[in-house]
Amino acid sequence: MKIFKLPDLGEGLQEAELVEWRVRPGDEITVDAPLLAVETAKAVVEIPSPCAGRIARLFAGIGDIIHIGAPLVGFEGENAEGENAGSVVGAVESGSRVLSETAQTVGHGSAGVRATPAVRALAHKLGVELAVVTPSGVDGVITATDVQRVARLLSDVEPAEPLRGFRRVMAQNMALAQSEVAAATIMDDVDIDAWAPGEDVTVRLIRALVAGCRAEPSLNAWFESSTLARRVLRRIDLGVAVDLPEGLFVPVLRDVGARDPIDLRAGVDRMRADLAARRVPPEEMRGATITLSNFGVIAGRYAAPVVVPPTVAILGAGRIRREPVVRESSIRAHRVMPLSLTFDHRAVSGGEAGRFLAAVMLALSAPG
């Protein structure tokens, strides 16, 4: 029997959630026919069959979290023999088990929990994790009353559900950013009253970000934490943060510095259509060199957007508003856009970030 294992999905991802099988045991399948679909890197990815043969065994169920290199399918038949055959090592872990093994405790680690055997037994009976209980006893000892208090609170809330799919990836990326990036944020307002009616806000922001990268190329870069090395990139592949009910998506618009406004608008429209259909090609979710978040379309004036490694900068645009502006000794109401630039201070200096933001503001303030 030939064992097909979950292949490398790129971007350093180590796992995926199985969302659909396209086959059942006993089915005959041809090379490149649809085999299964997994959800990861903020996209649903279809995996084709690597060979022809009969499906002998499926090693995972819908909703399981599968690690790279874990067994997926067992094939039988003449065409199912070959150098890619492998053996089953270990067991496929379900999402709930993965979460419980990697979850961070609150307040104090489980190794530091102090409780008598009787209190531990009570916690087990009531389904209370001792690591989330705040101790009230002498020297930090958890008492039976502490456990009962938490049990009452938990009885009034919905059971905890493991994060899956896009939200799981989002949580992992945010945790990585929080633990690794030395984030700093600068903010300013830009007067956009010179814009013509009906200006395309997204396209103007993209073109202004390109102007910022040309003024300060160091913000269009990847930073390698392990070697403390910065790689400044010539091409601007822009990650565009998009909010959907399933979570935060960041598809990539390629080579935005070489595209005209019409082409940029077509690219944005195509990206949104792909997101709505949940069929974003995996390659279009990888390799951003800098990120844009137009969070102001929802709410908010300023923010501290999160830089996700290996990128070093993200530009956020807040809600456009009208406010009094002094011009030639008179006060007028102008349209103003707030901007927030977060950068990784390990790779970008404050001066570089300031010059980048100044170039963005200059481009945005110009007439369309």
CA distance 77 to 194: 70
- The string of pLDDT tens digits covering residues 254-287 is 999 999 999 999 999 999 888 888 777 777 888 9
Q: What is the dihedral of CA 225, 214, 252, 365, to 10 degrees?
A: 120
CA distance 76 to 191: 67
Token code pair at residue 191: 């007067």
Say which range, 60-64, 77-81, 181-185, 293-297, has the weakest mean pLDDT.
77-81
From 3.50.30.30, 2.40.50.100, 3.40.50.300, 2.60.40.420, which CATH number describes the 2-98 domain?
Answer: 2.40.50.100
**pLDDT, position 80:** 60
CA distance 292 to 310: 15
- The string of pLDDT tens digits covering residues 103-131 is 223 333 444 688 888 888 888 888 888 88
**pLDDT, position 174:** 87
- The string of pLDDT tens digits covering residues 122-175 is 888 888 888 889 888 888 889 989 999 888 887 777 777 787 777 787 888 888
Residue owning tokens 């490694």: 309
pLDDT over 80 at 37, yes or no:
yes
The CATH class of 104-155 is few secondary structures
Q: Name 343's bridge partners.
A: 184, 313
CATH T-level fold of 166-365:
Chloramphenicol Acetyltransferase (3.30.559)
CA distance 169 to 324: 43
pTM of the model: 0.64
Task: Show the beta-strand stretches assigned E in 124-241.
Answer: 141-142, 183-191, 221-224, 229-232, 238-240
* Per-domain residue ranges of the chain: 2-98, 104-155, 166-365
CB 25 within 8 A of CB 58: yes
CB 251 within 8 A of CB 280: yes
